[in-house]
């Protein structure tokens, strides 16, 4: 068994050609680009039990060699994937199920009848691979780069494969991101947390691809730094999966959810105070603000206008043809991997970062409530939109971590505060202003609101 650590980056045909002659890759390419044709058949049961267990079973023909591969999903966060992989070299083109023993076969599939395994889909593509080697901080870095061009086919359905894979052979995971960022500064590279196997299953069932990254496990006693990292990874990874699925299907709801991940990530960044000094997050905040400033008004218009929704799909395709989305995604991944917000912060910031997140969150919400004079906005509901950033900060934490709050009816608080936020975001006519004033009163009277305000 080996553990592979890799990044998959969706590219255009033109970008694939540009990568082949990119000066950075040329300068570090120690093997030259080596072409090969890869023909791959994936297997599962008719009920797709392997997919449900997050397992991929493949038989590959590489020249005259047949390779049987089993992959189990390890962790995959924001495009940076770690998976366990077993390879067996076979003498022919028949699957050898006897090799799938307890040493590699997941316990959850122990009772599976392997005679029911059958071909499901194929991924056939032309690959050019190269060894990219350099020194970083007096250590050797070796990455295998692969340029893949071909298609996934499931029955009559097919989807193009056009991607760059970077797999770590020697070095640190951040070396993958550093190389990808350097390439993404001039070329549109879209971090794409979807394997070729997942693409095949998606052709069989478009709803099979989960648009949410794994939910983080939170504990009120864990340090704020750990909780923030887990939530930020979740938001970033989910945004990338939503971007991929919206690109594939064009369903409007996916674009709304994509934007919400970015809003929540920006709100979390704005709530950490000295635990994340502004200098440490400047680039990330600027990248996020640029995306939000462009996409918020498009989504707001599209909620009422079908033509604007169609235009948004075209605008999103243009977004992916430029460097901004990929560069933001990769920079954010590296920032989180390195925990860059913890560097160069003062002792007070250090203490805040190590504080139990449950107590910290209770204090944060109490401070936000103290600075939000709802009594005034009952009389002046037209001014409530000036509090949208504060409401977004509160809602982000309540949406993602309200289970850590005790005895404050957090679910009801979140629901009523979200209603107030929605009303504050709508254009103000007499009816909306009246609803704002009424909802402000509702929130102000909530036991949860009062309990947090007193703490």
Residue 100 lies in a domain: yes
CA distance 206 to 453: 46
Structure confidence at residue 76 (pLDDT): 57
pLDDT computed for residue 80 by the predictor: 64
CA distance 149 to 36: 11
Q: What is residue 397's predicted lDDT score, i.e. its pLDDT?
A: 97
Does any domain span residue 314?
no
pLDDT digits (tens, 9 = 90+) for 26-42: 999 999 999 999 999 99
Question: Is the distance from CB of 338 to CB of 332 less than 8 angstroms?
Answer: no
What CATH number has the domain bearing residue 162? 2.40.320.10
* 169 part of a folded domain: yes
Residue 293 maps to a domain: no
Query: Which of 155, 188, 209 represents a domain boundary (last residue)?
Result: 209
216 part of a folded domain: no
Q: Report yes or no on 110 lying in a domain.
A: yes
Q: So what's the pLDDT on residue 83?
A: 73
Residue 193 is predicted with a pLDDT of 80
The pLDDT value recorded for residue 79 is 57
pLDDT value for 194: 87
Show the low-confidence residues of the chain (pLDDT under 50): none
Q: Is residue 225 part of a domain?
A: no
Alpha-carbon separation of residue 23 from 26, 29, 181, 186, 321 (angstroms): 5, 10, 14, 12, 21
Task: Note the pTM of the prediction, 2 decimals.
Answer: 0.93
Residue 347 pLDDT = 96
Which of 209, 236, 259 delimits the end of a domain? 209
What's residue 213's pLDDT?
Answer: 83
| Residues 112-156: tens digit of each pLDDT | 999 999 999 999 999 999 999 999 988 999 999 999 999 999 999
**What is the number of domains present in the chain?**
2
Domain boundary among 209, 228, 257: 209
Domain range for 111 = 1-209
The answer as to whether 203 is a domain residue is yes
């Amino acid at each position: 068994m080996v553990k592979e650590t890799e990044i998959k980056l969706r590219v255009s045909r033109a970008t694939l050609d540009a990568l082949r002659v990119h000066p950075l890759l040329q300068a570090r390419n120690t093997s030259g680009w080596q072409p090969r044709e890869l023909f791959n058949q994936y297997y599962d049961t008719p009920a797709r039990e392997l997919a449900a267990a997050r397992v991929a079973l493949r038989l590959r023909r590489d020249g005259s060699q047949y390779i049987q591969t089993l992959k189990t999903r390890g962790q995959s966060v924001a495009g940076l994937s770690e998976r366990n992989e077993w390879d067996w070299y076979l003498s022919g083109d028949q699957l050898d199920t006897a090799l799938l023993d307890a040493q590699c076969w997941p316990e959850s599939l122990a009772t599976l009848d392997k005679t029911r395994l059958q071909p499901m889909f194929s991924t056939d593509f032309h690959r050019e691979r190269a060894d990219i080697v350099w020194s970083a901080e007096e250590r050797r870095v070796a990455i295998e780069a692969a340029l893949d061009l071909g298609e996934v086919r499931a029955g009559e359905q097919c989807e193009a494969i056009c991607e760059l894979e970077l797999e770590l052979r020697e070095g640190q995971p951040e070396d993958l991101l550093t190389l990808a960022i350097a390439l993404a500064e001039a070329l549109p590279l879209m971090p794409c947390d979807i394997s070729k196997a997942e693409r095949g299953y998606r052709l069989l069932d478009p709803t099979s691809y989960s648009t949410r990254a794994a939910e983080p496990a939170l504990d009120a006693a864990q340090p704020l730094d750990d909780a923030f990292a887990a939530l930020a990874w979740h938001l970033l990874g989910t945004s990338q999966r939503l971007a991929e699925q919206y690109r594939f299907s064009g369903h409007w709801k996916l674009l709304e959810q994509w934007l919400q991940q970015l809003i929540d990530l920006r709100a979390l960044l704005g709530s950490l105070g000295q635990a994340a000094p502004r200098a440490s997050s400047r680039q990330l905040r600027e990248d996020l603000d640029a995306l939000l400033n462009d996409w918020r008004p498009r989504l707001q218009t599209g909620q009422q206008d079908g033509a604007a929704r169609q235009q948004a799909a075209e605008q999103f395709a243009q977004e992916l043809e430029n460097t901004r989305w990929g560069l933001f995604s990769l920079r954010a991944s590296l920032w989180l991997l390195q925990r860059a917000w913890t560097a160069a912060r003062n002792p007070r910031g250090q203490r805040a970062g190590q504080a139990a997140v449950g107590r910290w969150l209770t204090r944060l919400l109490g401070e936000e409530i103290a600075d939000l004079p709802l009594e005034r906005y009952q009389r002046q509901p037209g001014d409530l939109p000036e509090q949208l950033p504060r409401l977004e900060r509160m809602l982000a934490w309540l949406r993602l971590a309200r289970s850590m709050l005790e005895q404050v009816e957090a679910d009801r608080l979140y629901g009523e505060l979200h209603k107030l936020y929605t009303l504050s975001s709508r254009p103000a006519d007499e009816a909306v202003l009246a609803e704002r004033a009424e909802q402000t009163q509702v929130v102000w009277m909530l036991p949860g609101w009062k309990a947090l305000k007193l703490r």
